[in-house]
Structure 1
């Protein structure tokens, strides 16, 4: 073997060994033990505090990328911006086709109400291809907090490293800022230095987005998908109550020999059981306030139209009170089960059980003349 070839092989081996050593060092850093950041490393987010980085582990030793977007208010709206794109902003078409994304778990640290803990992502989204290049977003919303920290970056899949390589943050941060700027309810978009500049992390200046009216933002009526679902929840009681009334009259006229109480026994469960069950199913993706308003207004309209259909134009106080109570009970049930965060399965809460009890008591009041 000639000297130049031997030299080339030695150089190649040295380069390969350096690469393996780098991987080993990287893996060791990722497996470092837990350590919370010092108070000096935290930045204030309202009354709370945030470590303005993400980490491979629950440790500052695994630090990776810098947080570069902060959103105050409407945490559900932020999540919908990236995971539910079935709405238009300001009459314009969607700016970025964000989709729910896969990606390695990264952590950040937040202190809320004086209690600090490491957080994993609340959501991940991307624009692009996992095995190509993409803009990648990780969002972090601490429990009981009214803000979301976002880390956005550009990356590509490296087949020889078998993982993503981050190339920068500027394009992804700008895309997120543009999307949120077009979101209804946003009051202003400003910038703030978080002191986390770096070679890949940019200049350390984060985009700060503030929602003007959190209640309106969480209500979701500005968003077409929530509006459609809200109208459906409101229309359901009208449709079911009318169906029961018309159906009972039709059966009574068509089948003379059928006892009226048998018809009532057949159709009453539609009002007592099917109506609240379907309302709860349809109201789940809405915010609690939107669900309450839709179900209450729909129930009140249904019961009022039903009374008008049988000629009751001036109901007595007791009857009016009962129908209003029934509409409010339906609204409370819808609000109790509503969950606009996107989780499809939840353990029933005390509020759900309580609202079911209220619905049952209001029904029993009428049945037993209380």
Structure 2
């Protein structure tokens, strides 16, 4: 063999070995590390928690791309949506022809039923060609959970790196979102912030998809908790209004002689103005919005009525009646906006809660300052 031929062969071997070394390093990188992410970096998904990124390793040190789609529904159904659609039976020509995909192992971290663990993807799907360009999706379905986290990105095969190069996530997220929006059985598609924005990771606003079965599951969950939690939400205003009234009467008597009445009022007013809406919002979170609104408004109305009757007010002036009705409705509005928050958009949820808090404050101010 001539010298040029030998040099060409050696060069080829070096190139191939270098490429294979890069591939091997990428594969074995998945085995290093085992540290769980800090609690403050996790986001809520249903009753669980999720680290909203993927990683090359079982640690945050290998962090790569951001989770950008969360699907609520049976995990097997989500998997079938990407891997086992029955195209001949009418999935529709507009839907994406997802196929099972190959790709490097990536991990994410989830806490389910109080137990945290690193998860490898439960499936990979793509639309496109491995050695061309494609939209690539990794799905993560924790055991015993009723949701699947997806990481979708657009990439192409780079011959000089001998691996894929990611070119963006926003377009891939929109691609998946549009497809799922048209998928039979999807009941709702919204958005929520996961706080994982970055140069490569987009704006940090994930697509939230709810399958009809998950929606029915929410109704079932509501039926299970409504008697207990709904009763608490309805009883809370009665308990706090009674606490403020009875407590103020007791304190202003022999307990603290000489204390000005205004000081006693300042002591108990936060129970109604602050504790009542805050505790109502906390208790109403597991309920569905219409039910949360109803029980909080009815509970508030009953509490305000009982309070007036307890002090002997039986003939209600119209202004007083209107104010108490508005106060009860404002309490119901606040409960309704925070209810079932995990399945709704973080951005719009924040705006709705802020608006309901403003309404509550305005109704309080109407009586407090005679507006």
Normalising by structure 1, we get a TM-score of: 0.48
Quick check: which one's helix share is greater? 2
Normalising by structure 2, we get a TM-score of: 0.48
